[in-house]
Structure 1
Amino acid sequence: MSVQPDITEQDLRHRSQEIVDAVADGQAFTVTRDGHPIGRLLPLSRRRFVSRREFAASSRAAPAIDLDAFRADQDAMADPCPDDPYAR
């Protein structure tokens, strides 16, 4: 993982085009205010299209999944009584 250089709010204001170009090229920055980090500028990950044929070829080496064991693992980890998101 590369080091994220610090930039001040003033740097961001005055060099925004340069900084945005650097982010577009993959550079990340930590934004600071009064010497304290307040946020990060991170490039978005780039997705790569994978054809159906390529996916199928790479999946052939994947281990088989025992569906009953998979479901049992899910049931063991799931909260049987999730909180009501609308309860106040």
Structure 2
Amino acid sequence: MKTITQRELAARSKAVLDEVEAGETYHITRNGTEIAEVRPLTTRRRFVPVEELQRKWRNAPAADYAKMRAEADEFYGDEDRVGEDDRD
């Protein structure tokens, strides 16, 4: 953990946040008194591996596209819908 002043945080915010992203924790002081803590989020990830997605979706229910279409038509109406024969 590092301690910095409010003024130093304002002057070096990008560098401080880069260090926080890398795992560092900062305590921020104002007039010599600690007023805040800046720390990394504990569960932040930049991507999810394909294997994990496959494992999580393996037991997901199958999509019923006909039911989805019927619900959309009921909600929005089907008068202005583009059909197969309307496409160019």
TM-score (norm 2): 0.49
* Richer in helix (by share): 2
Bigger Rg over Cα: 2
